Amino acid sequence: MSESSSNQWCTIESDPGVFTSLIEKFGVQNAEFAELWSLDDESLANLGPKVFGLIFLFKWTRNETSTGTCLSMEDIPSDLFFAKQVTTNACATQAILSILLNVEQKSDGDNSGGLVLGSTLEGFKNFTGSFPPDLRGEAIGASEEIRTAHNSFAKNDSFLAEQKQRKAEEDDDVFHFVAYVPYKDGHVYELDGLRTGPIRVGAYEGAHAWLPVARTAIQERIEKYAASEIKFNLMGVIQDKRIELNDKLKMLAEAGLEDEIADVKAQIMAEEEKRKQWKLENERRRHNYLPFIIQLLKEVAKSGKLEDMSKKASDRANELKRKAEERKAMLAKKQCS
Separation of alpha carbons 147 and 12, rounded Å = 12
Nearest to 235 by CA among 13, 11, 9, 10: 13
Catalytic residue of the set 10, 70, 176, 287: 176
In order, the DSSP letters of 267-332 are HHHHHHHHHHHHHHHHHHHHS--HHHHHHHHHHHHHHT-HHHHHHHHHHHHHHHHHHHHHHHHHHH
Per-residue burial over 300-325, b if 16 or more Cβ lie within 10 Å, else e, is eeeeeeeeeeeeeeeeeeeeeeeeee
Query: Contact 114/162 with Cβ under 8 angstroms?
Result: no
Nearest to 83 by CA among 125, 36, 145: 125
46 phi and psi, to 5 degrees? -70, -10
187 phi and psi, to 5 degrees? -125, 155
Catalytic residue of the set 10, 70, 91, 187: 91
Please, which residues have CB within 8 angstroms of residue 271's CB and are 6 or more apart in sequence?
241, 242, 245
Query: What are the start-end ranges of the H helices in the chain?
Result: 16-26, 41-45, 91-100, 119-128, 133-142, 144-151, 158-162, 210-222, 241-255, 258-286, 290-303, 306-336
Separation of alpha carbons 211 and 188, rounded Å = 9
Helix (H, G, I), strand (E, B) or coil at 185: coil
- Catalytic residue check, 91: yes
Per-residue burial over 241-254, b if 16 or more Cβ lie within 10 Å, else e, is bbbbbeebbeebee
Helix (H, G, I), strand (E, B) or coil at 108: coil
* Residues annotated as part of the active site: 91, 176
